[in-house]
Amino acid sequence: MDARINYFGNALAGKVMRHLNSAGSIVAPALPAATQELVKIRASQINGCGFCTDMHTKEAAAAGETQLRLNMVAAWREATVFTEAERAALELAEQGTRIADASAGVTDEAWAAAAQHYDEDQLAALISLIALINAYNRINVMNRQPAGDYQVGMFG
Query: Does residue 125 belong to any structural domain of this protein?
Result: yes
Query: Please, is 37 exposed, middle or buried when counting C-beta atoms within 10 Å of its C-beta (0-12, 13-18, 19+)?
Result: buried
Candidates 76, 95, 78, 96; CA nearest to 86 is 76
Q: What's the total number of domains in the chain?
A: 1
Query: Does residue 8 belong to any structural domain of this protein?
Result: no
Query: Does residue 148 belong to any structural domain of this protein?
Result: no
> The pTM is what?
0.95
Over residues 60-68, mean pLDDT: 96
**Segment 26-35, tens digit of pLDDT:** 999 999 999 9
Q: What is the domain extent for residue 95? A: 32-142
CATH number for 56: 1.20.1290.10
**Segment 93-141, tens digit of pLDDT:** 999 999 988 777 899 999 999 999 999 999 999 999 999 999 999 999 9
